[in-house]
Every structure is written in structure tokens, then in C-alpha cells.
Amino acid sequence: MGKPLEKLQILKEWELTEKNMLTKFLDLFMDNWNFVPIGQNLHFDFNWLIQRAKIVLDKEIPYRWLFCEKPYIDIKPILIIWNRGNFRMSGLHNLLDEEDGAKIAEWYRQRDYKQIIEYVTKEAETFIKVYQNLKAQIPKISPLYT
């Protein structure tokens, strides 16, 4: 229904180390795949995950398994259409005139983890609202739902 089934979990590298964080995430993500990941520009996230798993854990995640054999929903193409077909500036934060994550690196260097958590939480809440709206509106414009 477009609603989170559980409370948002934020894995914090500064508490776990990158190796432990990746291991914990992959245990949830790879071994217990009983959900459909929903996001914006998941190809970027999945490619990052593949590369970091290889570098940090020496673990191969098959590209085909992640991109072809498992279901996922990526709203990036819809955001591009929403942005009149322009790829540039089609990020959710641009279309909603919200702050992007450019400050995260600085917050991390300053160890201002509270700001990072607040940003990630707000971004997740915004994404959920947009996804719920898209889920409600897209069937109304589809000829398949007349």
C-alpha cells in the first residue's frame, strides 16, 4: 500500500564501521529478500553496494541477480517525466525545492551525526509521501484502469 511495514532503520557507519555496516545490511538485504526495494535512482545505490561489497568485504554480488532477478521499484523515470523529460535536476529534492545531501560530507567530518540522521529521516519521509501520491495518481491516468 506504499506504507512502511517497519520503523526506519538507519545503519550508522560511525557506530558499526563500514565493514560491519555492510555485513549487517547484506545479511538483511541478500539473505532475507522478502520485500521489494523502492527508491529513487536505485541503479546508483545498487552499483555502490556491489562495489563496496567487493572492496570492503571481498564479496561478489552478481549484477544480474540484483538488477534482473529481483523485483524493485525505482521512481527515477517518473521524476524525469515530472521534470518535463529533463534528466538534469530531476532529483526529488530539486523537484520539491528541498535541500540536497551535499552537506552530509561536511556534517560527517564535523561528527555532526544528529544532522545526518535528521536529513536521512526527513528524506525518507518525503520519499514515502511522494511514492504514496504517485501510487494513488498514476492509475488514474492509465488507460488500463478505465
Q: Quickly list DSSP for 9-75.
A: ----HHHH-HHHHHHHHHHHHTTT--S--EESSHHHHHHHHHHHHHHHH-----HHIIIIIS--EE-
What is the SS3 assignment for 74? strand
pTM higher than 0.85 for the full model?
no
Q: What pLDDT score does 97 carry? A: 66
If the chain, 146 residues long, is cut into consecutive pieces of 10 residues, what is the mean pLDDT of each piece? 82 91 86 80 91 95 83 88 82 73 90 94 88 83 65
Find all residues with CB under 8 Å of 119, minimum gap 6, and list them: 99, 101, 103, 104, 107
Q: What pLDDT score does 146 carry? A: 55
Q: What pLDDT score does 55 carry? A: 96
CA dihedral 21, 131, 112, 105 (to 10 degrees): 80
Return the exposure string of 48-63: e unless at least 16 CB atoms fall within 10 Å of the residue's CB, then b. Answer: ebbebbeeeeeeebee
Q: What pLDDT score does 118 carry? A: 92
Rounded to 10°, the helix 42-57/18-29 angle is: 120
Gyration radius (Cα) of the chain, Å = 17
